[in-house]
Amino acid sequence: MLSTDDKIEQKIERLKPGTIIFTEDFQSLGSSGAVAIALHRMVKKGLLRTLARGIYTKPKFSKLLGQEVLPTTEEVALAIAKRDKARIMPTGVHAQNILGLSTQVPLKLVYLTDGSPRKITIGKRTIQFKKTTPKNLALKGAISKLVVQALKEIGKGKATDKELQKINQLLKKEDSKDLKHDIALAPQWIAEIMAQAL
């Protein structure tokens, strides 16, 4: 019969390099104590890297860079949301950065979620999940929902002409059905900016 270590090692071998794994993914392979010890051994063996408490990744080597590549903080946030079956939405400077409105890469990523609020530290960066109302997560458009969050961060009447022009260009790529849906849910002043793209 295979030991917990062997079972976990076999499972890791089947995973693609760069896969994000949680302690819970191995729950069926042994007691929580045995799993924790086995995962610690896998990290020592170099089969896994610890990203944060209870969060690991299978090492991925980039031939191009000639070094190991770790998952991005965004990829970790998406993996947590998938695991928790929660919806998440980037906010603030992070939303601005995704849209190309800001070159600032935030060290703290803040997401609105309908899952559990929590804070996770990965190296020098943190991911914060803030509990929000279903209405805030009801926005449909991939671009328009980020625009709403980016404009909230910029503030009413504070967006520059250049930013407004960029937002308008981005929103013209949005599905018009989704855009109309999101305009109806956005705060009035943001809705007025977004409506110009219709």
What is the per-residue pLDDT across 39-52, written as a single tens digit (0 to 9) for each? 999 999 999 999 99
Whether residues 47 and 116 fall in one domain: no
Say yes or no to pLDDT of 1 above 90: no
Among 43, 62, 81, identify where a domain stops: 62
Whether residues 182 and 129 fall in one domain: yes
pTM: 0.89
Residue 35 lies in a domain: yes
Among 21, 40, 62, identify where a domain stops: 62
Mean pLDDT value across residues 180-185: 97
Q: List CB contacts of 192: < 8 A, sequence separation 6 or more.
A: none
Write out the residue range of the structural domain in which residue 8 sits.
4-62
pLDDT at 130: 97
Q: pLDDT class for 121, splitting at 50, 70, 90?
A: very high
Whether residues 87 and 149 fall in one domain: yes
Whether residues 91 and 177 fall in one domain: yes
Count of the separate structural domains present in the chain: 2
Distances (CA, A) of 7 to 23, 126, 163: 14, 32, 53
Whether residues 20 and 39 fall in one domain: yes
Say yes or no to pLDDT of 175 above 90: yes
Q: What share of the chain is helix, strand, coil (3-state, %, to 5)?
A: 50, 20, 35
